[in-house]
Amino acid sequence: MSKKPFSFRDFFGFGRKEGNALNESPASSCGSGSGCGGGSCPSTPPPQEGGALHRPANRREALGFLGLGAATVAAAVGGGCGKDDPLTEMKFAEYFKKNYRLMTEEERRETVRRIEILTEAATHRKVHVKDTAAQPGVRFGYAFNISRCKGYGECIEACVKENNQDRGTNMQYIRIFEVDKGQFSPEHGKTEYIHEVGAPGKFYMGTQCFQCGNPPCTKVCPVGATWQEPDGLVVVDYNWCIGCRYCEAACPYWARRFNWQEPQVPAADINPNQHYLGNRLRRQGAMEKCTWCIARSRDGRQPACAEACPTGARVFGNILDPDSEISYILKNKKVFRLKEDLGTEPHFWYYMD
Amino acid sequence: MQKPLHFLRDCFTAATRGGPSFYLWAGFLSLLILIGAWAYTLQLRHGLIVTGLNDHVSWGLYISNFTFLVGLAAGAVMLVMPAYVLKDLDFSRAVLIGEGIAVGALIMCLCFVTADMGSPQNAWHLIPKIGYFNWPNSMLTWDVIVLNGYLALNIFVPAYILWSHWNGRHPNKKLYVPLMFVSVFWACSIHMVTAFLYASLVARPFWHTALLGPRFLASAFAGGPAFILITLLLIHKFSSYKIGSELFRKLALIVTIAAQANLIMLGSEAFVEFYFPSHHGISARYLFFGYQGHDALVPWIWTGIGLNILGTLLLTVHLTRRREGWRTLACALIFIGIWIEKGMGLIIPGFIPSPLGEIVEYHPSTPEILVTIGIWALGLLIMTLLIRAALSIELGHARAPGAATKLPDDH
């Protein structure tokens, strides 16, 4: 945790700058008065790839629309450091923007553009934030083959990288439970096992967000910051979330994660292919969750976990498409879901060969 | 416009001028508030990571205190109801004090919820029209409505009564008695809605019981009046505002009956959980006896239950209930017992084990405890100031220029 005096400007996201290792480069920040306003500064210095990898993540460089330190980028987008600083204006606009669901197409385009610029200013990484909408005729579903999974955990690693999760608290969406044969529930399993996997007498069961057909988490949100999209994905508007964590208490599958601190993602590790409702960089005090990689799945790609699985235990697809693999499994295999008695209608099925 | 300002100034003066013991008390509370505020800046700066909370136990000390204090606020109805619905004159002398306590408790509730929020800067998202108020789906929005409504009732009705007395006249009963009736139902609703906040979660079997709401009410009507009784005793001893012994007798009876009902429901829950222990009872097993070697809450909950049983026994036996010393002790035991049982004893086990069976225990951190103490100090300070202002008008010390010190006989 970096030591800095508390500032309301920073807290509300209008803080202008603070030096950090990355930004104390040739073009120093506004406050130090080295006069880099008016576009006179060199453009964004190249990210220090090698260095950034080996340094512990710094919460300033990691993310944060708080206290941006990059006067250089301010210059790059054609501004100075004064009150009319376009970055400050953008942060202002970001703070006062609407709930995503109430935005017009135009407003969505604007916020996406602002986020791209602000992210670049904070991290020196060019990112692309999409706002791809759900496609008609698509309802995503997921099937997990418990006779195939060997507990390698490749899915977990791929997920963390794809979704820009906080490395500081080691946040993970996916849990792989090692369960003794003869039992049949993750409750009897363990998620921490340090031995060669595919262990005899054990089987492995993965959990993540099941994108329930009747999600208890979205119903309880007092500000409507989380909802279900027409293609079934349950998403969070990170800017709109007030951080009450009622949804986290309401989820029967423990699928939600909270940003207890400013998320730390080393700049070099940021996945630049982002979606507004998915893996864009988050902030301290907001809830997040697995979206079956909305940035990929809405482009017709597999989620990172399904792609990374070396055993083929994970099958993802459109259950409304009768020719999809997931439809085949639902039609021809014996499947089951967790906690069916709750009526949550998970769209995540387990099956066996 | 001059007169209301004069009224407010008189109230402020009465609330803030006092003897050395008052300044010592107010100074002590202010110090705790400042320490709490400092601890809160740590949380604002670094995030909720400075608390003992995590993704497994995502609500803790703050929400525990919030839940308990809703009960304390609702407890004030046990003065309003007898005074206005049953027209019991003994109670009407204490109603204003009860409402002062309710206001302090409600402000503490709002502070605790705010302290628990990860993004308090986004609180404006809750404002209907400007933000997005997910009513009627989210029970939290219901809670926002009932808590703020109850706060408004408990500010405006006493303010109107005091304003009338300050002017040397009786308040218009047609104006405020209907509101008193509303506040009786409203008090029950704040606690039922708060119970539904938890009871509505299918993910948490420990809370998912229809008994939660009624049990909240019973414990509120025991803990609230117990606190009021102790406060009234302090006022009786240390101020010139005297309270009849009848009122203490009747209040103690209310506490007794509510505490007995609370214990019956506790027994009923324990029976269902333990007669045939099922998967749904693991949280209760963790709470009362420990589970798989994890037993952080076991001494805590048994202390609470011990205090509740002892306090209820002392009140049930006529001999001890009628003695001031024993009665006050019993009320203190019940107040602390319910704070334990309905605070951490209710909230934490809801998260242990997690819905997927993992066990992570919770211990509040130092900043979290300091913020909690600070909010309690703030609430107690508000109660002190409000009660002092009210009593100075009730005693006839503060009056509008030219107004009669003694009110005309009621008709």
pLDDT digits (tens, 9 = 90+) for B75-113: 989 999 999 888 898 898 899 999 999 999 999 999 999
Whether A9 and chain B come into contact, CB under 8 Å, resolves to: no
Among the partner-chain residues B116, B132, B139, the one whose CB lies closest to the CB of A99 is B132
Question: Tens digit of pLDDT for each residue in A243-299?
Answer: 999 999 999 999 999 999 999 999 999 999 999 999 999 999 999 999 999 999 999
Per-chain mean pLDDT for chain A: 84
A176: nearest CA partner in chain B: B356
- Which residues face A177 on adjacent strands? A205
A287: nearest CA partner in chain B: B118
User: In 10 A of CB B8, how many CB atoms?
Assistant: 13
pLDDT given for residue A14 in this prediction? 57
Q: Which residues, including other chains, have CB under 8 Å from residue B54's CB and lie 6 or more apart?
A: A260, B360, B362
Residue B74 reports pLDDT greater than 60: yes
Question: Tens digit of pLDDT for each residue in A207-233?
Answer: 999 999 999 999 999 999 999 999 999
Whether A249 and chain B come into contact, CB under 8 Å, resolves to: yes
Six token digits for residue A20? 């950090």
> What ipTM was assigned to the predicted interfaces of this complex?
0.95
Question: Which positions 293-332 of B are in contact with A (Cβ < 8 Å)?
Answer: none
For helices B212-238 and B245-275, give the axis angle rounded to 10 degrees.
150
Question: Which positions 270-329 of A are in contact with B (Cβ < 8 Å)?
Answer: 283-287
Q: State how far residue B123 is from chain A, nearest Cα, in angstroms.
A: 6
pLDDT given for residue A18 in this prediction? 40
Question: Tens digit of pLDDT for each residue in A24-72?
Answer: 333 333 333 333 333 333 334 444 433 333 434 444 444 433 433 344 4
Tell me which amino acid residue A62 is: A
pLDDT given for residue A186 in this prediction? 86
Q: Give the global pTM.
A: 0.89
Tell me which amino acid residue A65 is: F
pLDDT given for residue B379 in this prediction? 98
User: In 10 A of CB B92, how many CB atoms?
Assistant: 15
Put simply, the answer to whether B118 touches A286 (Cβ < 8 Å) is yes
| Comparison of pLDDT for A79 and B70, the residue scoring more | B70
Put simply, the answer to whether B356 touches A6 (Cβ < 8 Å) is no
Given a contact cutoff of 8 angstroms between Cβ atoms, the answer to whether B235 and B241 are in contact is yes
Given a contact cutoff of 8 angstroms between Cβ atoms, the answer to whether A298 and A132 are in contact is yes
Residue A84 reports pLDDT greater than 90: no
pLDDT given for residue A7 in this prediction? 64
Per-residue confidence band for A195, with pLDDT thresholds at 50, 70 and 90: very high
For residue B49, which residues of chain A lie inside 8 Å, CB to CB?
1, 169, 260-261
Residues A24, A18: Cα–Cα separation, whole Å: 10
Q: Which of A6-20, A158-172, B2-16, B117-131 has the lowest mean pLDDT?
A: A6-20
Put simply, the answer to whether A185 touches B126 (Cβ < 8 Å) is no
Q: Which residues, including other chains, have CB under 8 Å from residue B319's CB and lie 6 or more apart?
A: none
Per-residue confidence band for B408, with pLDDT thresholds at 50, 70 and 90: confident
Closest CA to B85 of B177, B203, B164: B177
For residue A261, which residues of chain B lie inside 8 Å, CB to CB?
46-49
pLDDT given for residue B389 in this prediction? 96
Question: Tens digit of pLDDT for each residue in B294-343?
Answer: 999 999 999 999 999 999 999 999 999 999 999 999 999 999 999 999 99
Put simply, the answer to whether B357 touches A12 (Cβ < 8 Å) is no
Question: Helix H segments across chain A?
Answer: 8-11, 49-54, 59-62, 71-76, 86-95, 105-123, 154-162, 216-220, 246-250, 294-297, 304-308, 325-332
Per-residue confidence band for A83, with pLDDT thresholds at 50, 70 and 90: low
Put simply, the answer to whether B201 touches A102 (Cβ < 8 Å) is no
Residues B346, B61: Cα–Cα separation, whole Å: 11
pLDDT given for residue B299 in this prediction? 97
Residues B25, B3: Cα–Cα separation, whole Å: 31
Among the partner-chain residues A223, A246, A261, the one whose CB lies closest to the CB of B131 is A223
Among the partner-chain residues B41, B118, B200, the one whose CB lies closest to the CB of A243 is B118
Per-chain mean pLDDT for chain B: 95
Closest CA to B319 of B383, B252, B371: B252
Residue A77 reports pLDDT greater than 60: no
Run of H or E residues at A288:
strand A287-289
Question: Tens digit of pLDDT for each residue in A111-136?
Answer: 999 999 999 999 999 999 999 999 99
Query: Do β-strands A256-258 and A348-351 pair in parallel, antiparallel, or remain unpaired?
Result: unpaired
Six token digits for residue A230? 């027409």
